[in-house]
Amino acid sequence: MGIVYVLNGLYFSAFLFLTSLGLSIILGVMGILNLAHGSLFALGAFMAAWVIGVCVNAGPTVGMIGGFVAAMLLAAAVGFVLENTIIRPMYRRPLEYQLLITFGALLVIEDLIKLTWGGEAYYASGPFDMMGRVNILGGEYPAYFLFVMGVTAACGLCIWLFMARTKLGIMLRAIAMDRDMAEAMGIPMRKLTILAFMLGASLAGLAGGLMVPTSPALLGIGMEPLIMAFIVVVIGGLGSLKGAVLGSLIVGQTRSFGVGFFPELEMPVLFLIAVLILVARPQGLFGRA
């Protein structure tokens, strides 16, 4: 039974890692606290569910791949529009302006989702049913959960290679460390901030797309991942890949064991952990002071 809780914790952690990493990239590189990030997650969920449903005759594999790619592309496209319209004037504005404008964007995107897909739930369990179950230590476990963990690990590795080994990634890290210095050195800020926003948005869209085979796409589906992602960023630290990994593991495992043993205290325990880390280390476990 214990191994199931650990695996479920890793499964929760996978979604949290993708969502919080996108949030952390946008916040770290651009200094924008994006409350609309949860709506990008929801957009990915609805798009993936819709594509999987449309491609049902082509088979669950085609629908699944098409759904995940479409979720990432739609979220990235909406991120591009947001950055070029309402986000760009907010770079030098106080935090409260960012919160108001991104909260307004959240409401608008939620209304657009309702206008496009209606207020009904979208189900897309084909990929989950197709993969079936595997035997782990004498017990059966959904193979789709393991697939999500594998996809997340591959994404994390790709993001690490991009940030550590490519010129674009190094310039993004330079912007995150000192925006004014990076601008003085001639780094193309406009192109890179758009890239950062689209990258962060696409990760949220992918997380939403990965969720729909196990959970229906509903209005408001992005609110809980948004709250959890903020807790992960607080624990792990801003702009840190290691922090996103560790924070996601802490929150995911706490949630998994909390649901099993103390469901009433699950959220209070998570907030307590975040508060303790804020008090002891305000920049997070791996954030810069």
Quick one: pLDDT at residue 208? 94
Q: What is the pLDDT of residues 138-195, one digit of tens each?
A: 788 999 999 999 999 999 999 999 988 899 989 988 888 887 888 888 888 888 889 9
* Burial readout 114-153 (b: 16 or more C-beta within 10 A, e: otherwise): eeebeeeebebbbbbeebeeeeeeeeebbbbbbbbbeebe
Segment 216-220 mean pLDDT? 89
pTM flag (> 0.85): yes
Q: DSSP letters of the chain? A: -HHHHHHHHHHHHHHHHHHHHHHHHHHHHH----TTHHHHHHHHHHHHHHHHHHTGGG-HHHHHHHHHHHHHHHHHHHHHHHIIIIIGGGTTS-HHHHHHHHHHHHHHHHHHHHHHH-SS-B---HHHHHH-EEEETTEEEEHHHHHHHHHHHHHHHHHHHHHHHSHHHHHHHHHHH-HHHHHHTT--HHHHHHHHHHHHHHHHHHHHHHHTTTS-B-TTTTHHHHHHHHHHHHHH-TT-HHHHHHHHHHHHHHHHHHHHH-GGGHHHHHHHHHHHHHHH-TT-SSS--
pLDDT band (50, 70, 90) for residue 136:
confident
Q: What is the pLDDT of residues 2-30, one digit of tens each?
A: 788 899 999 999 989 999 888 888 887 77
When the pLDDT of each residue in the chain is averaged and rounded to a whole number, the result is 88
Quick one: pLDDT at residue 289? 60
Measured CA to CA, the distance from residue 276 to residue 289 in angstroms comes to 17
pLDDT at 80 > cutoff 90: yes
Percent of residues, the chain, with pLDDT higher than 70: 98
Segment 70-93 mean pLDDT? 91
Quick one: pLDDT at residue 6? 92
